[in-house]
Amino acid sequence: DAGITQSPRHKVTETGTPVTLRCHQTENHRYMYWYRQDPGHGLRLIHYSYGVKDTDKGEVSDGYSVSRSKTEDFLLTLESATSSQTSVYFCANSPRENTEAFFGQGTRLTVV
């Protein structure tokens, strides 16, 4: 168990507001990821991090930014939430790149 904690678990927000989702790991894994999961699309990578202050874009990064100021924390920010960003967001970590990932329990975000 890689000890991923996501907060909040549920959030409802209004269109146009900024939202930050938090991911905390108790392990010292170098790689951390943010995914969104939507019906018919599966899990899609938003952003990932390969170290403190080292991040890169995934396949659906528009409208999202991330920060990693400490090994254990990886933040996902929706700069101005839109209804299309209503989704379930998962954080994951991994000790090595492009291999097994360990997931948190997810954050269900609804943008109204």
Partner 1 sequence: TQLLEQSPQFLSIQEGENLTVYCNSSSVFSSLQWYRQEPGEGPVLLVTVVTGGEVKKLKRLTFQFGDARKDSSLHITAAQPGDTGLYLCAGVPGTYKYIFGTGTRLKVLA
Binding positions for partner 1, rule: CB under 8 A: 4, 33, 35, 40-45, 48, 58-59, 90, 92, 97-106
The least distance separating partner 1 from the CB of residue 53, rounded to whole angstroms, comes to 20
Q: 8 vs 16, which CB is nearer to partner 1?
A: 8
The least distance separating partner 1 from the CB of residue 55, rounded to whole angstroms, comes to 13
| Residues 67, 20 contacting (CB under 8 angstroms) | no
The least distance separating partner 1 from the CB of residue 51, rounded to whole angstroms, comes to 16
Which tokens in the block code for residue 37?
A: 């999961």
Q: 4 vs 76, which CB is nearer to partner 1?
A: 4
Which tokens in the block code for residue 48?
A: 């990932």
Nearest to 47 by CA among 63, 26, 28: 63
Q: 15 vs 50, which CB is nearer to partner 1?
A: 50
Residue 21 to residues 59, 91, 98, 104, Cα–Cα distance (Å) = 19, 9, 23, 12
